[in-house]
A and B are shown apart, each in its own frame.
Chain A
């Protein structure tokens, strides 16, 4: 009896063991707020492959610290969709798997988004590969434009025009507002949607070598004034003052006339809120010109993971025609230049604006991006709230300018 029992259990154990070795389960993290594209490509992959990806969404403002603590505690996921800006910092810390040989063997390696690969490269070795590309754009609600007596097909080209339109839209009703932004100290949201106002007119918040903070410019003063004026005229919902990024997609509720969004949001609007009739254009600068923030995520693999082959298989799937199509449908611009046109074929034509934005877009390059810009308590996040909502604009400028400079100086 006991013998039979033993035999039975050992057979069960064998089955379980072999079952486990046949299909790998990849642990993967992704930051919140980048839309549905990655979720959908994981779903598509899991449905068609034996290996499975278990995805965990981490709040975007905490991803870096959570990943770093997880590495320090030996609990890191196998792979990560990492804001491309952070790839150099983690590669420099020696925590990422070297992908150079494998990446260069990919037949389409040379057509992968070059800025992503550049930021994924550290000391001539490649640690990160492009996963998603996103640019910031300006969106307006065509139905509200029509109701307010504006031409719904005419994209606004200056902030004076945007403000005037916002006033007309605000007059439509109690809960209809002309403009929205996440103003409660969301550094990530504001670098994405607000800095294009100064970039478009030739100014920047950091010098080109990243060693001097150049926040206090006439262009930035003007941009702050535009937002302040819209807040003062009650064209922006009161909730914006404390929105730390959770409600970045408020435009999707249909009661916001205009908002600067990301290309991901186009995908979200088209697929999840098809009843919202909207147009998109490039974000105007304060003194003319247009600009955009080119961001997105790099795919990185935690050093020492045992499931590296399965992870590579997943990444190859996202680069395939099927994978790219799924990503693009939900708003991520194609990462492979060689098949970009085919991928976008038949998709919403507004995605083309997102692609056009790449030509005028900027990406600030600094190893201290988290401390300076993204951290909820960093100088940039504090500045955006203090300058737009505070009583002391000059103080907000001088505080942020000196704190940014001191962070840059101590980091060197």
Chain B
């Protein structure tokens, strides 16, 4: 009996080691992709950020100077402020539209498939094409919105929507909600559908009203789905670039320069690739911190069912 212990353990350990190798083999293609297209570029960006790296000419090692410069860069600070402002507003707007839509298309009713398709349709349009479309819609003379308002007699003169910060910002928010809300709706819809109908029925029998059911049943059960939708929406908004570049080229008086726009300007307009790389690393760090914070706040991963 005494000798059988180690004799038995050995094959188990061997088997485990064997299956570990096999597991590694399975994820190898995915790992290779991540390493080649994410880890290596990030490492190289980090390396670049320690240089004065002009687009033309040869790089020069400057240590952490790019990061020191960032700390005193007023334009970077204002880009961060604008990006935060945009992210908060657009995320609230997307959820305010997507949640009711998800509840609307979850119920079985006539033509629900058609509704889902129509609401999801703008998602498949590229963001650049959507931006160009809205540039035309918002055009003061030959567009749609301004002339339509004028034809309806709501305004005396067709307004130039993209000329002032507030109206241009509002136009962009409406465009992004129109474009993205359908996607968030689909994510929330899957969460809604995962809630067993028995639970809702039981709550109803217990006398819970619609608001109580939503607040104490639907919302807690959808926590993970909401976390996913929130992270996708927040990350996407922090990385926003196309709509500002195409629709307002940085906005009236440069007030719509997002962080990515600023990185683009530093790298390819002012040719400071090194500083652009340092800014990118900083942005990556910010995104990681925000995502971790969101997962913590929504307590995802703690309560496995």
For residue B189, give the distance in angstroms from its CB to the closest CB of chain A. 38
Contact between B159 and A238 (Cβ–Cβ < 8 Å)?
yes
Q: How far is the CA of A91 from the CA of B250 in the complex (A)?
A: 30
Chain B residues whose CB sits within 8 angstroms of the CB of A94 once the complex forms: 56-57
Is A339's beta carbon under 8 Å from chain B?
no
Segment at the interface with B among A139-147, A214-222, A317-325, A381-389: A381-389
Query: Given A377-B254, A377-B265 in contact, is the A239-B141 Cβ separation under 8 Å?
Result: yes
Chain B residues whose CB sits within 8 angstroms of the CB of A376 once the complex forms: 249-250
Contact between A385 and B253 (Cβ–Cβ < 8 Å)?
yes
Q: How far is the CA of A385 from the CA of B252 in the complex (A)?
A: 7
Q: How far is the CA of A376 from the CA of B264 in the complex (A)?
A: 13
Partner of A184, one of B158, B163, B268: B163
Is B136's beta carbon under 8 Å from chain A?
no
Query: Given A65-B268, A185-B253 in contact, is the A72-B139 Cβ separation under 8 Å?
Result: no
Chain A residues whose CB sits within 8 angstroms of the CB of B157 once the complex forms: 238
In the complex, residue of chain B having the shortest beta-carbon distance to the beta carbon of A183: B163
Is A208's beta carbon under 8 Å from chain B?
no
Partner of A377, one of B57, B162, B250: B250
Contact between B269 and A371 (Cβ–Cβ < 8 Å)?
yes
Contact between A239 and B139 (Cβ–Cβ < 8 Å)?
yes
In the complex, residue of chain A having the shortest beta-carbon distance to the beta carbon of B75: A403
Chain B residues whose CB sits within 8 angstroms of the CB of A71 once the complex forms: 56
Chain B residues whose CB sits within 8 angstroms of the CB of A185 once the complex forms: 249-250, 252-254
In the complex, residue of chain A having the shortest beta-carbon distance to the beta carbon of B159: A238
Contact between A375 and B265 (Cβ–Cβ < 8 Å)?
yes
In the complex, residue of chain A having the shortest beta-carbon distance to the beta carbon of B261: A377
Query: Given A72-B56, A93-B56 in contact, is the A375-B269 Cβ separation under 8 Å?
Result: yes
Is A54's beta carbon under 8 Å from chain B?
no
In the complex, residue of chain B having the shortest beta-carbon distance to the beta carbon of A370: B269
Contact between A239 and B140 (Cβ–Cβ < 8 Å)?
yes
Chain B residues whose CB sits within 8 angstroms of the CB of A370 once the complex forms: 269-270
Chain A residues whose CB sits within 8 angstroms of the CB of B168 once the complex forms: 242
Partner of B160, one of A95, A241, A244, A377: A241
Q: How far is the CA of A65 from the CA of B253 in the complex (A)?
A: 21
Chain A residues whose CB sits within 8 angstroms of the CB of B159 once the complex forms: 238
Chain A residues whose CB sits within 8 angstroms of the CB of B261 once the complex forms: 377
Chain A residues whose CB sits within 8 angstroms of the CB of B265 once the complex forms: 375, 377
Chain B residues whose CB sits within 8 angstroms of the CB of A72 once the complex forms: 55-56
Q: How far is the CA of A241 from the CA of B249 in the complex (A)?
A: 13
Query: Given A93-B57, A376-B250 in contact, is the A389-B163 Cβ separation under 8 Å?
Result: yes
Is A68's beta carbon under 8 Å from chain B?
yes
For residue B172, give the distance in angstroms from its CB to the closest CB of chain A. 13
Is A69's beta carbon under 8 Å from chain B?
yes
For residue B75, give the distance in angstroms from its CB to the closest CB of chain A. 9
Contact between B253 and A390 (Cβ–Cβ < 8 Å)?
yes
Partner of A68, one of B139, B253, B254, B271: B271
Contact between A242 and B253 (Cβ–Cβ < 8 Å)?
no
For residue A265, give the distance in angstroms from its CB to the closest CB of chain B. 20
Chain B residues whose CB sits within 8 angstroms of the CB of A371 once the complex forms: 269-270
Is A237's beta carbon under 8 Å from chain B?
yes
For residue B199, give the distance in angstroms from its CB to the closest CB of chain A. 52
Contact between A241 and B253 (Cβ–Cβ < 8 Å)?
no
Q: How far is the CA of A239 from the CA of B143 in the complex (A)?
A: 11
Interface string of B260-285 (1 = CB under 8 A from A): 01000100111100000000000000
Q: How far is the CA of A386 from the CA of B254 in the complex (A)?
A: 9
Q: How far is the CA of A382 from the CA of B252 in the complex (A)?
A: 8
Q: How far is the CA of A109 from the CA of B195 in the complex (A)?
A: 82
Contact between A377 and B140 (Cβ–Cβ < 8 Å)?
no
Chain B residues whose CB sits within 8 angstroms of the CB of A69 once the complex forms: 55, 268
Chain A residues whose CB sits within 8 angstroms of the CB of B257 once the complex forms: 377
Chain B residues whose CB sits within 8 angstroms of the CB of A389 once the complex forms: 163, 252
Q: Which residues of chain B from 140 to 160 have any CB-CB distance to chain A below 8 Å in the complex?
A: 140-141, 157-160
Q: How far is the CA of A68 from the CA of B248 in the complex (A)?
A: 24
A-B pairs with the 9 shortest C-beta distances?
A241-B163, A93-B56, A238-B160, A386-B253, A242-B162, A377-B250, A65-B268, A242-B163, A376-B249
* Chain A to chain B contacts (Cβ below 8 Å), 15 pairs: A65-B268, A65-B269, A68-B271, A72-B55, A184-B163, A185-B252, A185-B254, A238-B140, A238-B163, A239-B139, A239-B140, A242-B160, A242-B168, A371-B269, A396-B253
Which residues of B are at the interface with A, using a C-beta cutoff of 8 A? 55-57, 139-141, 157-160, 162-163, 168, 248-250, 252-254, 257, 261, 265, 268-271
Other A-B pairs, 7, CB within 8 Å; known A185-B252, A242-B248, A377-B265? A69-B268, A185-B249, A238-B163, A241-B160, A242-B163, A375-B265, A377-B269
